[in-house]
Amino acid sequence: MRNYHKLMVAIVAIFALALISSQAANAADKVYTVDELKAEAMNAVRNLQPAEAKAMIENGDIAVIIDVRDGGEVAGGYIPGSVHISRGTLEFKIEKELPDVAKDAPILIYCKKGARGALSIVQLDKLGYTNLYNLSGGWLQWKEAGYPATQ
């Protein structure tokens, strides 16, 4: 009887592990649409409205501002004091471009509308950066609000 009980526990454990492995594999195999990726990223990060971001910058609560737009977009203007590291090279360049920035320093990320900023934050979080903010509405809402801009 005792061996039967041990055998049943082992069988149940094996089935449970198989079920968990199967669910994990299915989650890893999920294919996302671009809109799903953007929505997931936007929901996973701390988004600041332009007025909130401006206040934090003015109060000295933001250590670094990173513009992740592509080069041609930056030519149309940018937030004063921001560092340009395009989204496509961010993971490779951030530590080289900003070697003195601590991983827990408050960093504001922005792009044109907000989605690339959120996607950037998801990746920077994986690199150990912990105090990241996304500019909701991106450069377009910043500029529309009439906040400081450099050409």
Question: Tens digit of pLDDT for each residue in 98-111?
Answer: 999 999 999 999 99
3-state secondary structure of 80: coil
Question: Tens digit of pLDDT for each residue in 28-45?
Answer: 688 999 999 999 999 999
Looking at the predicted structure, is the pLDDT value of residue 56 above 80? yes
Pair of tokens at residue 109: 């990320």
Instruction: Please give the C-alpha separations between residue 15 and each of 12, 25, 28, 29, in angstroms, as whole numbers.
Output: 5, 15, 20, 21
Instruction: Please give the C-alpha separations between residue 59 and each of 34, 55, 129, in angstroms, as whole numbers.
Output: 36, 6, 21
Q: Note the pLDDT of residue 30.
A: 87
| Residue with tokens 């910058």, as numbered in its chain | 57
Question: Tens digit of pLDDT for each residue in 107-151?
Answer: 999 999 999 999 999 999 999 999 999 999 999 999 999 999 998
| Cα 61 to Cα 38: distance, rounded to the nearest angstrom | 27
Q: What is this structure's pTM?
A: 0.80
**What angle, 0 to 180 degrees and rounded to 10, lies between the N-to-C axes of helices 115-126 and 90-97?**
70
**Residue 59 pLDDT level (bands cut at 50, 70, 90):** very high
Strands of 107-110's sheet, edge to edge?
Answer: 47-48, 132-135, 107-110, 64-67, 83-84
Looking at the predicted structure, is the pLDDT value of residue 14 above 90? no
